[in-house]
Amino acid sequence: MQLEISPRQRSQQEEEAEQQLAEEAVGDVASIELWVYPKLPVGEDDAGAAALVPPLNFAEVHDGIFRSGLPTADNFTFLRSLKLRSIVYLCPEPYPEENTRFLEQNGIKLHQFGIDGSKELLVNIPEEKIREALKVILDVRNRPVLIHCKRGKHRTGCVVGCLRKLQKWCLTSVFDEYQHFAAAKARSTDQRFMELFDTSSLMHLTASQC
């Protein structure tokens, strides 16, 4: 005997199926969690809470690993709340004096890997600098660590993209995350670089560190 499904039951089943498909469509990039502001010490007032201003394009990449654009003085209180040990700076220009003083005052070590910000990144980027930057990031002794360039889009996006390959992300998800931050400024040369980047020499560093 064949049971007939009423129109109402059919509609409900279709809605459940569509909802399931929508959930499955969410890729790894959904793991970019909204940042939860750390709580200030007891006694801080609302004005202190308002001072927690994250840098441009700030996000948590992994436990103890953060990314952003170049911090300004307005971001220092927020950065202090992260209890950073290290900063990985990806620009060739000297680190701003005001930022250098902030690092010295808070015992934060600067690791600079000067990478040209040219649009022809595939041609100009020194791949060895990416590897050296990743070694610093993967070393848990350097965490919490903040990775940043000028705007937190291209150079930072490439380093994080190569880190994602080490974490076994599929290329589609790597590119989705890159485009999330680069938006209209996304560069095909950056994505090509990430696609061709060879992670084999760094795989031994990721087993217990990321």
Residues taking part in catalysis: 149
Length of the chain: 210
Contact 64, 142 (CB under 8 A): no
Two tokens, residue 135: 């070694």
- Cα distances from 124 to residues 1, 89, 101, 164, in angstroms, run 71, 17, 31, 22
Listing from the earlier edge strand, what are the strands of the sheet with 145-148?
59-62, 65-68, 145-148, 86-89, 109-112
Look-up of token digits 């950073």: 84
Amino acid identity of residue 65, one-letter, is: I
Two tokens, residue 105: 């005052």
Other beta carbons within 10 Å of 194: 23
